[in-house]
Chains A and B, each alone.
Chain A
Amino acid sequence: MTDKYTQLVSRGLGRDVAKKLGLPQPVQLRRYQPGAPLVTGPVLVSGDSAGADDIATTLLGWGLDVRRNALPKEKLGAIILVLDAVQHPGDLGKTVLAAGTSLRDLAANARVVTISRTAQSAPTPASAAARQGIDGLLRSMAKELRSGATANGILLHDNLATTSPSALGALRFFLSGRSAYVDGQFLTVTSTSGSLPTDSERPLAGKVAVVTGAARGIGAAIARTLHRDGATIVAVDIPAAGDHLAAVANSVRGTALQLDISRDDAGHRIIEHAVERHGRLDIVVHNAGITRDRLLANMDEGRWHSVIAVNIAAQLRINEALLASEHFKDSSRIVSVASTSGIAGNRGQTNYGASKGGVIGMVRSTAALMEPFGGTINAVAPGFIETEMTAKMPFAIREAARRLNSLKQGGQPQDVAEAIAFLASDAAGGISGDVLRVCGQQLVGA
């Protein structure tokens, strides 16, 4: 459900009044529905490299309406800036300015996507400057877009083609409604691993996925989204949440596993359940998390330790069991839920911030351990998401948190779930150790 203010200013008198008064004007975002087209209009592929030509050819192969030059007054569904060959900041202008003239022609909920290379591996300072420049460019451009349009970027390691499987996977994710609340963010493709799904509506067909904290909120949305994409779900939550958990498990035709993930044998129990009941284990989503907010000056041991134990220590212990298991060796996927609090910090959340920052550190370090068997591990960092938990925030704080992002609204649990579903798919096989924010480009913090 979109919040009431967004509904009010999305149409009719409310829209006119909000415009006159200069109030924030959030729109109803284009969210993925099975069967919906990838984009809602022609796609302009901007850039003159061979990589740009390859992208244009691929998009034509997908049946999209592709433009290499914008037509006057034509509404565009997306603009793709292919900047993979830039050597010097001076090389950016031509492609960027050409795309700039078309920004006003973007349709509502359109997409801008840059494709470039990682700055760390640049051969020269000038090349690094050009590549890093795209970071600032993209994030600024995202803040200029209106009406639900977003801008995100794909970063390629050197030697990777613009059409490597996960580059295309990320491109499809960013173009689609699956990325509705992802704005101003980059995904980094590090290898040629991965493959696009044969059935784009069931990219997780045949997979068995464990979702922790699945009884409600974001976890329940993750279970439903992974199930929609074809996965068999093992829904995990603490025994005390078992009634909600049973309802979720029954709604996705999966199984419920009542388990405190901070138990020593939690990893073993998860693997055993998945393999015995469903024959395999492909995906683990570490979503379970708790908050015990207090200013650090007032923090007690119980609050500190319980948050660390559940939010990060449990994930580390379960991952150890997964990495040691013979049942988790076939292109396995781990996706952890971090938080923008773990990146930008949040007053009253030193314990939570430490745990979620910890998740990011764990993900970056574990990627190397997953690589030998084609596995990946990534994190998703949600910003302000409309859940039962955030509905309990005081009105003024909630309104501020909700509007202080480029999309001027809170995200939905489904938005977080869509990012996780993508990172859990075969298409994301070349993306590992990455952290994707689902925050509508929060204006504060990193």
Chain B
Amino acid sequence: MAAADVSTGATREPTPSPLRSAVIVGGNRIPFARTGGAYVKSSNQDMLTAALDGLIARFGLQDERIGEVAAGAVLKHSRDFNLTREAVLGSALSPETPAYDLQQACATGLETVIGLSNKIKLGQIDSAIAGGVDSASDAPIAVSEGLREILLDLNRAKTAVQKLKIIGRIRPKDLAPDAPNTGEPRTGLSMGEHQALTTAQWKIAREAQDELAYNSHRNLAAAYERGFFDDLITPYRGLSRDSNLRADTTLEKLASLKPVFGKSLGSEATMTAGNSTPLTDGASTVLLATEEWADAHGLPKLATVLDGEAAAVDFVHGKDGLLMAPVFAVPRMLARHGLTFEDIDFFEIHEAFAGTVLSTLAAWEDEEFGRTRLGLDGALGKVDRAKLNVNGSSLAAGHPFAATGGRIVASLAKMLHEKGAVDGRPARGLISVCAAGGQGVVALLEAA
């Protein structure tokens, strides 16, 4: 608040606050479990609390009042309106830590990182925990729309006769429950069917998709073997590794699987259970702070959050594929910093489907697409495959929707920290996450 200075007559202005850096201190997640597996009895709140408590233990945050905690879930019970705050209250953090829920489909986790980083950069908070959780095992099931309307009418009815009349409207079909699915409300197509169209449009070969899936499993298994996840994961309910990981899978095994999406394409159907991500349960968290806060707490500074960008595409009218929004977000964000793919050392492209990653790469390598759709002189560029998802991604780890962003951010931050400097500049990493509704969120990190 500005106050008049009586003696000089001058007005005192608020102190200007220059932008600060938002650093990633570290992260913690629970192993991801295939739906119906180890976490079948765990709620979103249970898993998010477990992920938080592991983070608190790793960094000694017991009773700490964190600036703000933001997390979310895609599949959410209506009773979980304050999911994140409830998880904070159930954790070892100070109960005076504020929290809010956020939801942006599969980009939820990454968006919490970007939003909280912005608050830190602006000087609003000094520390934050970003996160996300999802359970497809403990998914909310609603009554049918017909029954819901009848029940609401019943609640409003005053007399017994009115009530009886309303109850009489219930038909057997109204009793069927309404379970959530990955179908797009505006097209009725599932995410997999949408991607099958995109995969076919970009002529992505079955072999290329299987190879990407194979590399995801191989890279993730190797990362576990060398202890990469020792300070990124805390076991939960008897699981200490992602249950979807198949360390012993082979290209032959993947090639033997039958297509599950795009079957209407006939012989062109290429998407199998092996090169698509299964429904998964899990939770992740990321600790963010100013450099000063990290130093004062004797905590590491792995990477800084440089920037973030969201995009959306018109998939409803078929202009672009449902999961292609990151294709547009990345060039916009890189242009802001005058960077090209040459300046990026790690690419973390979320593997919703192998076809998604490969369609994205194909679009970026396409001269015509670059000119007509991205407004560039030609193709955006070619991603060096040796820099792509080097410690595995969602095809191997699984994808509990809102938890994927936190998984990627924490792992990439550690990779950047280990890499340190490249040609005299800090190592850089790019994150790309596609989301339902034709959206995408991307982010740029740099070794701290």
Contacts and interface: CB of A to CB of B under 8 A. Distances in A.
Contacts of B59: 255, 277
Contacts of A411: none
B60 A246 contact: no
B230 A259 contact: yes
Given A256-B54, A260-B227, 19 more contacts: A235-B57, A239-B227, A239-B229, A239-B233, A242-B54, A243-B234, A243-B235, A246-B54, A246-B57, A246-B58, A246-B234, A250-B56, A250-B62, A253-B60, A253-B62, A255-B59, A256-B234, A258-B234, A279-B298
A151 interface: no
Contacts of B62: 250, 253
A327 to B, nearest CB: 14
A241 interface: yes
B63 A253 contact: yes
Contacts of A276: 298, 300
Contacts of B63: 253
B353 interface: no
18 contacts: A235-B57, A239-B230, A241-B235, A243-B54, A243-B234, A246-B54, A246-B56, A246-B58, A246-B234, A249-B57, A249-B60, A250-B57, A254-B60, A255-B57, A255-B60, A256-B54, A260-B230, A277-B59
A247 interface: yes
A243 B50 contact: yes
Contacts of A250: 53, 56-57, 62, 92
Contact of B53 (A246, A253, A255): A246
A278 B297 CA distance: 9
Contacts of A253: 60, 62-63
Interface string A226-260: 00000000010001111101110110011111111
Contact of A258 (B60, B92, B231): B231
Closest 6 CB pairs of A and B: A246-B57, A256-B57, A249-B57, A255-B60, A242-B234, A250-B92
B299 interface: yes
Contacts of A256: 54, 57-58, 234
A240 B53 contact: no
A263 interface: yes
B54 A263 contact: no
B236 interface: yes
Contacts of B237: 243
B227 A245 contact: no
B240 interface: yes
Interface in B297-343: 298-300
Contacts of A258: 58, 230-231, 234
Contacts of A235: 57
A254 B236 CA distance: 20
A152 B235 CA distance: 43
A246 B237 CA distance: 13
A438 B54 CA distance: 33
A182 to B, nearest CB: 32
Contacts of A245: 57, 234
A259 B237 CA distance: 19
For chain A, give the interface size range: 20 to 34
A232 to B, nearest CB: 9
A250 B54 CA distance: 9
B240 A239 contact: yes
A259 B92 CA distance: 22
Contacts of A255: 57-60
A278 B227 CA distance: 23
Interface string B56-80: 1111101100000000000000000
Interface string B24-68: 000000000000000000000000001001101111101100000
Nearest to A250: B92
A56 B299 CA distance: 50
A240 B238 CA distance: 8
Contacts of B240: 239-240, 242
A259 B56 CA distance: 17
A264 to B, nearest CB: 11
Contacts of A263: 227
Contacts of B299: 277
Interface string B77-108: 00000000000000010000000000000000
A239 B58 contact: no
B91 to A, nearest CB: 8
Contacts of A249: 57, 60
Nearest to A241: B235
Contacts of A259: 230
Nearest to A278: B298
B273 to A, nearest CB: 28
Contacts of B54: 242-243, 246, 256
Contacts of B235: 239-243
Nearest to B298: A277
B123 to A, nearest CB: 26
Nearest to B229: A239
A247 B300 CA distance: 22
Interface in B217-237: 227, 229-231, 233-237
Nearest to B238: A243
Contacts of B229: 239
Nearest to A253: B62
Nearest to B91: A250
Contacts of A277: 59-60, 298-299
Interface string A278-318: 11000000000000000000000000000000000000000
Nearest to A233: B60
Interface in B239-281: 240
